[in-house]
Structures are given as structure tokens and as C-alpha cells.
Amino acid sequence: MNSQNSNPEYCSRINRVMDYIEANLAETHTLEELASVANFSKFHFHRIFTAMTGETPFQFLTRLRIEKAAGLLISNRSMTIGEVAFQCGFSAPALFSRTFNQYFGVSPTVWRCNNGTPDDKREQTVSNLKKADSNQGQTNRNKREVNEEVSMYFCHETKTFKWRTTMKLNKSMEVKQLPKMTVAYVRHTGPYQGDSNLFQRLIGELCTWAGPRGLLQSDDTGIMIFYHDDPKVTEQDRLRISVSIKVPEDTRVDGKIGKMEIAAGTYAVGRFEVESQEFGEAWDWLYGTWLPQSGYQPDDGPCFEVYPEEPKAGEKIKVDICVPVKPI
């Protein structure tokens, strides 16, 4: 869905349905229920959703379920195939395996054994997922793990666990509780990596809306970017990001501006100072080096970046990468 060209009211309603589906992936949904969330007639909702997103509501639901499962198979190896299936909303392991194979071209077992690396069949059937460099990425991660040290300590001042690392981009790592948040957002669906003009436009749209409403005056206000999909799993044209700011819970939104609740939870928060081309390296280090040595694993919930201050010309960008975690 291209938010730049869509009717603002329709865009808002479809975003609301997508948020609802994502927050309730394991639940059984009806067309009437989803139409009610969008405040559209059930006779028109299906056609509107499909026309605006390129997928039917239940294609979207199935895709998110199967992509979540693909991540869980790699990140949480203590879960059985059946447990992954049920957690992601599939009624039976056989249905899950069949759907997974149709989408990725391999069984869940093969996917897990290969660490998500595509085989020839998947390379042919889902070539636009562009995972051909997975083996090289894993090799690079293994090299980093040998050369980079990660040691944990308890900070009595902040009452949180922190880590000392030798990763050149990382300035601090800690695991802490983040409170429930309400955020207003502008959403984009499609490719985004390396597109600085896109991010500037989305931030401009959000700030143009928020400024006159006095929502940019708080010391706690900073740009947040939520990543709803894994770019190594989801097709580029389906990737969703939400450029956001914290707002009071009762803030009214409309048109292109949506609103979502982020549940309180335990997050790994890494402060990095990066050049524009180093974001991927920071994310890969957090997932490939820090997480395996931390005693934690990814939990359900969106990952996001927080920009504590406006980047200054000629200086590195300060960013907090926030990933929901739970003990292994």
C-alpha cells in the first residue's frame, strides 16, 4: 500500500485492520470482524483491502503467520514444529507444514536445519526474497563472534543488566523494562533500505501533523521507526515500516496518521553511533553476536529504532535499537 497515493481516510482504516491482525495473529478471524475494525461494510471491505494492499485480508494474515513462524524456527530452537505452528495461529502442524512449503519451497524442518538459507527450489520460486547472501552473512557473523567480546554486569545505579562489548559501533547494551507506549505513525509499505528521501518525507509528514497539535514539545519526544517485517523473509514490496512519535493515549488521529499501542515489556536496547550505511551492520551484530551470548532470545512484539536527537551534518547518527526479548 503506497501511503503517498492512497485516500487518507481509507489508508487510516486499512492500517487499523493491519495493526489489528498483527496484534492477534494466533486468533481466528472472520471477514465480518475485520470489516467492523475497518468500519467498512463487509460487502465492500474485502475488495477495498485487496485493491489497496495487493493481498486479500486472509492472504495478509497467512503471510504474517508464516513469516513469523520462519523467524521462530531459527530464533527459538527449543520450540517444536507443532508448538511454532500453534503459536502462529495454525490449527494443525500438517496445515502449517503444507503452507510453509508452498510459501518458501522447503519444509519447516529443512528451513530450520539450513538456518533459513534457501535451497535451489526456493531460490527459483521465491527469488525476490533475495536471501542468496545468507551463507556469507552467517560466515561474517561467526568471524565477529570470535573477535568480539561480550561480558555482562549488573548496574546498581540503573538496576539493569548491561554489557561491555568491543563492537566499534556499539556504545552501550542493556536489558530493561519499557513502559506501555501510545504512538502516532505514518506508514509505508514497500522497499525502504537506503532511501533517505523516503524517510525524510515520512518524518516531514508526521511532524507537519504533530507540530500544530503541540505534540513535539515533550523532552521524551523522538522519532521512532517500527519495523513490522523481517527484510530477509518478507518480499521487498510487502515490507512495512511506521515512522512514529510518542503521543498521549487520548490523541485523536485521522487520515494518513495512525495510532497504535505498544505493550510494556522487556527490551534489549543498544545505543549505536553509525554512518548511514552502517545500520545493517549494527542490526546484524545485535542479532548475530550479542543475542547468542546474552542468555536472551527474541520475544513477540515489534522491533524499533529510537533517535534520541536530531542528526547533525557531518556527525554520526545516534540510534537506539530496541528488540523485545525473553530468557532462553
**197 in a structural domain:** yes
- At residue 117, the pLDDT reads 60
Which parts of the chain sit beneath pLDDT 50? 120-146
Give the 3-state secondary structure of residue 276.
Answer: helix
pLDDT of residue 147: 52
The total number of structural domains in the chain stands at 2
Indicate if 186 and 309 belong to the same structural domain: yes
User: 187 with 126, same domain?
Assistant: no
Whether 51 is covered by a domain: the verdict is no
Can you tell me the distance from the alpha carbon of 9 to that of 254, in angstroms, rounded to the nearest whole number? 7
Question: Is 116 a member of any domain?
Answer: yes
Structural domain contains residue 139: no
Residues 262 and 317 in one domain: yes
What was the pLDDT predicted at 2? 53
Sign of the alpha-carbon dihedral angle for 71, 268, 86, 21: negative
Of 81, 108, 132, which residue is a domain's last?
A: 132
| DSSP state letters, 188-256 | EES--TT-HHHHHHHHHHHHHHHGGGTTT-STT--EEEEE-S-TTTS-GGG-EEEEEEE--TT----TT
Q: Which domain holds residue 296?
A: 175-327
Task: State residue 149's pLDDT score.
Answer: 73
State whether 210 and 262 are in the same domain. Answer: yes
276 and 188 part of one domain: yes
CA 88, CA 270: separation in Å to the nearest integer?
28
Select from 102, 132, 162 the last residue of a domain. 132
Residues 127 and 187 in one domain: no
**Backbone CA torsion sign across 247, 249, 253, 258:** positive
To the nearest 10°, the Cα dihedral for 186, 309, 262, 230? Answer: 70
Q: Are residues 190 and 73 in the same domain?
A: no
**What is the CATH number for 240?**
3.20.80.10
What pLDDT shows up at residue 242? 96
Check whether residue 243 and residue 183 sit in a common domain.
Answer: yes
CA angle centred on 22, ends 18 and 28, rounded to 5°:
100
Model-level pTM?
Answer: 0.70
Residue 97 lies in a domain: yes
Residues 186 and 261 in one domain: yes
Asked if the structure places residue 161 within a domain, the reply is no
Question: Please, are residues 200 and 162 in contact by the beta-carbon 8 Å criterion?
Answer: no
The domain boundary, picked from 100, 132, 164, lies at: 132
> Would the CA dihedral through 107, 111, 114, 117 be positive or negative?
positive
307 and 204 within one domain:
yes
Taking phi over 0 as left and psi of -120 to 50 as alpha, with beta for the rest, 314 belongs to left
In a domain, 100, yes or no: yes
Q: Where residue 87 sits, what CATH number does that domain have?
A: 1.10.10.60
